[in-house]
């Protein structure tokens, strides 16, 4: 069998890219001839099956042959002109996409022209998605969003990511970059430093906590300078260690006392939370989007966006010996 994986080229390496890389490796390990493309081919005759992971262009999406294409929906981009499913007022949106009310929200986007174009092409995109013989998403939460936007439920499969982690490596922890993971990691945030991931809410929670717990931040993103300024303003900067992007976040998770997932956007799944729970780490997260499914009862969930509830949950966690 000859399989093609497609996703738009991106400068940001996020969950979609990780998922596609893992799928590619699994297919090749099973003996399948698999390749990956970042530009839509002119002809699809060379492939028996096609997995589309991200295709922002509706015109390009329409070119994929529906009879052998599986579309993976990883995030809210196909349904929301802002791509994040929360409004400029930072409120999560559960409305069906379309001209109303998206036409009021889209002009407030960073790129309002592009967002308005997405609004106008919304129905065309949904029609294109509905043509494929199979649409795969990561959680029942996301399936409900697809159905609400007009994708036939019978064509949607829910396939959570396979979590393949070991709780102990039997050796001192190192990231794949060779950097040693320090002892005594207390709270850990692992993810992109962007607004929807909610690190700003975690910093605010640290400012009102009774305990003086420390936080290691693994990740990078466009909000990093503002987040560092916020930490200093809140007086928590001495308790926050900024580790930058690390290729092997699971090494940091294994060393952490607790992994905090403070996303306020509606996570389609929540891979960090699922991996941390699988590693046996304590997980504290907002109960939003697909996170309750990803955690599968193995996390402390607090009301979305409630900083004081988050602080209380973190204060209630047992501390490790080096934190006492």
- Kindly report, residue by residue over 246-267, the tens digit of the pLDDT: 888 889 999 999 999 999 999 9
Q: Copy the structure tokens of residue 38.
A: 């970042």
pLDDT at 61 over 60: yes
- Kindly report, residue by residue over 1-36, the tens digit of the pLDDT: 899 999 998 777 777 888 899 899 999 999 999 999
The reported pLDDT for the residue numbered 179 is 63
Q: Copy the structure tokens of residue 29.
A: 């390990």
The reported pLDDT for the residue numbered 108 is 80
Say what the pTM is. 0.86
The pLDDT confidence band at residue 85, using thresholds 50, 70 and 90, is confident
The closest of 7, 16, 91 to 50, measured between CA atoms, is 7
pLDDT at 105 over 60: yes
Residues 191 and 275 reside in one and the same domain: yes
Residues 198 and 262 reside in one and the same domain: yes
Residues 152 and 23 reside in one and the same domain: yes
Number of domains in the chain: 2
CATH number of the domain where residue 26 is located: 3.40.50
- Contact assessment for residue 7 and residue 52, using Cβ atoms and an 8 Å cutoff: yes
The closest of 9, 36, 7, 13 to 246, measured between CA atoms, is 13
Residue 308 lies in a domain: yes
- Contact assessment for residue 205 and residue 215, using Cβ atoms and an 8 Å cutoff: no
**Interatomic CA distance for residues 121 and 147, integer angstroms:** 18
The sheet with strand 240-244 has its strands ordered as 240-244, 215-218, 185-190, 256-261, 282-286, 300-302
**Interatomic CA distance for residues 273 and 27, integer angstroms:** 25
pLDDT at 176 over 80: no
Residues 132 and 217 reside in one and the same domain: no
Per-residue DSSP letter, 56: -
Domain span holding position 305: 185-317
Q: What percent of the residues of the chain are helix, what percent strand, and what percent coil, each to the nearest 5? A: 40, 20, 45
**Interatomic CA distance for residues 107 and 88, integer angstroms:** 10
The reported pLDDT for the residue numbered 69 is 96
Q: Copy the structure tokens of residue 260.
A: 């905090």
Contact partners, residue 131, CB within 8 Å, separation at least 6:
66
pLDDT at 41 over 80: yes
Residue 323 lies in a domain: no
pLDDT at 178 over 50: no
Residue 176 lies in a domain: no
- Kindly report, residue by residue over 107-162, the tens digit of the pLDDT: 887 788 888 888 888 888 989 999 999 999 999 999 999 999 989 999 999 999 87
Residues 94 and 207 reside in one and the same domain: no
The pLDDT confidence band at residue 175, using thresholds 50, 70 and 90, is very low
Residues 130 and 218 reside in one and the same domain: no
Average pLDDT over the chain, rounded to an integer:
88
| Bond prior to 285 in cis (omega within 30° of 0) | no
Domain boundary among 158, 176, 211: 158
């Amino acid at each position: 069998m000859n399989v093609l994986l497609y996703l738009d080229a991106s400068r940001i390496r996020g969950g979609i890219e990780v998922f596609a890389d893992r799928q590619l490796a699994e297919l090749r390990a099973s003996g399948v001839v698999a390749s990956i493309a970042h530009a839509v081919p002119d002809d699809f005759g060379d492939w028996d099956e096609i997995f589309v992971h991200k295709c922002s262009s509706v015109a390009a999406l329409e070119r994929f042959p529906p009879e052998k294409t599986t579309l993976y929906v990883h995030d809210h981009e196909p349904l929301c002109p802002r791509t994040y499913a929360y409004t400029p007022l930072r409120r999560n949106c559960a409305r069906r996409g379309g001209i109303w009310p998206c036409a009021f929200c889209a002009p407030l986007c960073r790129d309002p022209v592009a967002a308005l174009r997405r609004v106008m092409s919304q129905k065309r995109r949904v029609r294109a998605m509905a043509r494929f013989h199979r649409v795969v998403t990561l959680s029942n939460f996301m399936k409900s969003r697809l159905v609400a936007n007009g994708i036939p439920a019978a064509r949607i499969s829910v396939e959570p990511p396979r979590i393949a982690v070991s709780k102990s490596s039997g050796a001192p922890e190192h990231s794949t970059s060779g950097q040693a993971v320090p002892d005594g990691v207390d709270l850990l945030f692992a993810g992109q430093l962007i607004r929807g991931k909610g690190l700003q809410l975690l910093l605010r929670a640290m400012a009102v906590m009774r305990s003086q717990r420390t936080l290691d931040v693994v990740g990078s993103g466009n909000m990093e300078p503002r987040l560092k300024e916020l930490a200093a303003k809140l007086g928590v900067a001495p308790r926050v260690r900024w580790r930058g992007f690390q290729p092997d976040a699971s090494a940091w998770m294994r060393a952490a006392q607790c992994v905090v997932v403070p996303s306020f956007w509606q996570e389609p799944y929540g891979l960090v939370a699922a991996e941390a729970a699988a590693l046996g780490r304590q997980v504290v997260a907002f109960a939003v989007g697909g996170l309750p499914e990803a955690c599968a009862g193995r996390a402390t969930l607090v009301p979305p966006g409630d900083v004081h509830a988050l602080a209380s949950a973190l204060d209630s966690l047992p501390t490790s010996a080096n934190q006492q």
